[in-house]
Structure 1
Amino acid sequence: MNARTAGPSPQSNLTWLVAEREIASKLRSKAFLISTGILLLIALAGILIGGFTSKNPEATTVAVTSETAAVVEALPNTKVTEVADRDEAEQLLRSEDVEAAVLPSDDGAGYAVIALKDAPGSLVDALSVRPAVEILEPATTNPLLRYFIAIGFGLVFLMAASTFGGTIAQSVVEEKSTRVVEVLLSAIPARTLLAGKVIGNTILAMTQILALAAIATVGLIVTGQKEVLSSLGAPIIWFAVFFLFGFILLASLFAAAASMVSRQEDIGSTTTPITMLVMAPYVLVIVFNDNPLVLTIMSYVPFSAPVGMPMRLFVGEAQWWEPLLSLAILLASCVAAIAVGAKIYENSLLRMGAKLKLAEALRG
């Protein structure tokens, strides 16, 4: 086999040339570098503040009866609410007005701790005799931690996908409006140009994701949250894998949508539906982070799987085979999106003037 057949093809060389151009232009942008630095600092500050706050918790709100009031009032860092009976205590628990209730019990301790989802460890440990603990609605993880992890996954996906997806869209329209694309297409096939743009921005997005993962790891180690770090290890890895293919899918659609217009001010008219697909997982995972059904549906929908599946893995609600099945669905969707996106991009790139309709872009 000679060197000509063994080396990379001219097509792949052109693809990487376009990718390098996309990366270089972004790295030369002071706005991009400053915004990335601010994002990393915000992530680190959030983890550090959360870690230090967890070491200085607020007072635990506890419901008590007249029989147990004296026991709880003597404990440090507790706020007591006296109730008449167990029914009133359960009502306060379910409305989340108190975190726990200490009620009379027939066992050796003389009282028991009642909680809704998770018994406050500080309260249980502070009682002189360890009481029986009864959980009304057992939770797989700490509800507050679960909420913050949901915000983390959702926000990182939203910011990275929208930032770099928007970058691709602006780049495509800029090349069309300045007629640079005509020069590029005289030397580079349209699909090669699209592939280079997607690869270049995917590399940038993944670099940002890995930097955030490294920052999170450092922050958790510094604040002594090793248990949280150990439970987040596998979900973060899966998040990176799902984000990689999810972003390629979205990037192809962003480029295709942008190629249908010729002016920067018209970008929103074609990319808004894709932007909504990016925003939906962020909203859903925050609102329904404790809803197993919604999270399960999210973990199998290609656009929300990068957020839904890692979240389910973190809370321990996913079987070992589910990430593999979800990833297979995402890969199939990614292939389909690239095929459709490439066709629209190829057919629309040289069409100037008014916004092109989707049917016309598909027909060519």
Structure 2
Amino acid sequence: MNRNTPHGPLTLVGLVAWREIVTQFQRKELWASLVMMILVFCGALGLQKVFTGAADRPVLAVVGEHRDLTESLRAQTAGASGDGGARGVEVVSYENEAAAEAAVRAEKADAALVGEGRVLVREKLPEPLAGPLYEAHRTAQTTERLRDGGLTDAAIARALAVQPLTVSALDPDADRRTEPTMTAAIGVMALFFLTFMFGQGIAQGVLEEKSSRIVEVLLAKVHAWQLLAGKVLGIGLVAFVQISAMAAGGVTVAVAADLVDAPADAIGTSVSVVLWFIPGFLGFAALWAVAGALASRAEDLQHAAGPVSMLQTLSLMAALAPFTGISDTLTRLFSLVPGLSSAVMPVRMASENVPWWEVALAAVLLLASIAALLRVGGRIYIGGLLQHGGIVKARTALRNARLGGMS
């Protein structure tokens, strides 16, 4: 088979891609990394659940009557029970001060209310308990003074029955967006390591083909752009299968283990991350292949791939911009820039309502950049493949390709 073969150009790309797919699926490291990524994804979701989950209800030990105060606390507890009882205060009665103090020391109670309105704490009054306790104390003191003034309990209840404030939420879905945003960030970080791992494999494979002169045989059969496109497409499909399995397995385990509160949001976010991952991976895969072509020895590979690693790291840092308090305008810009958008846009889409035209613009710019990269990268690729000795500069590789009439 040569370049004049009746096979069409896309058929040749497919043959190169199939060769890469078969090679990749035979690697044991691929399956080991898949299992590891699923475990990391589930573990990260579990940690998110632990750190963002509701705190335990504070416990107050009470000695004596303190009827007005404890009733106020229990009323607050009852009012908070609508969210699963995670908030409010649990009031536990003790016979004497010694027993209540022992409960605080043993951490069975967060604080103890003893005679003369004194509060015993082990170190300091916990924040979830401080507010309700101060409010209950104020209410109890007011009730006692009104009762001393001759008011009946019914009159006191009417006097204390204050109309609650009307609260209007400007962003009622803010809490709901937290979990999808964290899920998207975790997914992007997992994909960063996956892309980095595959990228190094691509560059190493290209370098080995160049060193063994196998690539010269391949270039006698196919054009450089077909070889580059087939390699990127084949490895991209393998990466897509792996990330899809990781996302499906991770979300399934997370839902089954009740690690996420809104399974539909987690699934939608995972799909968004995967869809943005595909073009982003193709772009970085092409850059890693070009880096491998520019190196002539294994020790030169890290230096040749330095700019690619830096750009990929910048994309991860940009994806975490919503968590740093950075300017919204800058985050918006990051989500449109090719090379960064594949990591930033899914996180931004999970954290806010992004206008459809911005999503479309980011996708068009990303795809256009990949097309241009494959065209220019193909020339650098072949110009670097056929030159040996040290690191080949991109400008030199382009000149070699142009002077040699190679494409």
TM-score interval, normalised by the smaller of the two chains = 0.7 to 0.9
Q: Secondary structure at 2:262's aligned position in 1?
A: helix
Kept in 1, the 8 Å contact 2:184–2:350? The answer is no
1:232 and 2:266 matched: yes
Change (3 A) 1:169 1:312: same
1:37 and 2:73 matched: no
1:279 aligned to which of 313, 328, 347:
313
Paired position in structure 2 for 1:193? 227
Change (3 A) 1:78 1:341: farther
TM-superposed CA distance for 1:176, in Å, is: 0.8
Aligned residues with identical type, % of pairs: 27
Q: Secondary structure at 1:318's aligned position in 2?
A: coil
1:170 and 2:167 matched: no
Paired position in structure 2 for 1:349? 385
Structure 1 portions without partners, runs of 5+: 1-7, 62-66, 81-96, 111-128
**Structure 1 CA distance for aligned equivalents of residues 329 and 316 of structure 2:** 16
The Cα offsets for residues 49-85 of structure 1, whole Å up to 9 and x where unpaired, read as 655x489743479xxxxx99973797149968xxxxx
Paired position in structure 1 for 2:89? 75
Change (3 A) 1:147 1:314: closer
CA RMSD of superposed structures (Å):
3.8
1:358 and 2:394 matched: yes
The Cα offsets for residues 256-303 of structure 1, whole Å up to 9 and x where unpaired, read as 122111111111111111111112232333354254334312211111
The equivalences for 1:2-21 within 5 A come to 9-21=7-19
1:204 and 2:238 matched: yes
**Structure 2 CA distance for aligned equivalents of residues 309 and 180 of structure 1:** 39
Code of the aligned partner of 1:252: A
The equivalences for 1:197-346 within 5 A come to 197-224=231-258, 227-286=261-320, 288-289=322-323, 291=326, 292-346=328-382
Kept in 2, the 8 Å contact 1:246–1:306? The answer is yes
TM-superposed CA distance for 1:134, in Å, is: 6.3
Q: TM-score normalised to the size of structure 2? A: 0.66
**Structure 2 CA distance for aligned equivalents of residues 36 and 59 of structure 1:** 36
Structure 2 portions without partners, runs of 5+: 1-5, 59-67, 78-87, 91-107, 112-125, 141-161, 401-407
Q: TM-score normalised to the size of structure 1? A: 0.74
The Cα offsets for residues 122-171 of structure 1, whole Å up to 9 and x where unpaired, read as xxxxxxx9965869996823686366325313312311221211111111
Paired position in structure 1 for 2:55? 58
Kept in 2, the 8 Å contact 1:169–1:255? The answer is yes
**Structure 2 CA distance for aligned equivalents of residues 198 and 271 of structure 1:** 16
Q: Secondary structure at 1:39's aligned position in 2?
A: helix
Code of the aligned partner of 1:21: R
Code of the aligned partner of 1:58: A
Kept in 2, the 8 Å contact 1:59–1:79? The answer is no
Change (3 A) 1:175 1:15: same
Kept in 2, the 8 Å contact 1:15–1:195? The answer is yes
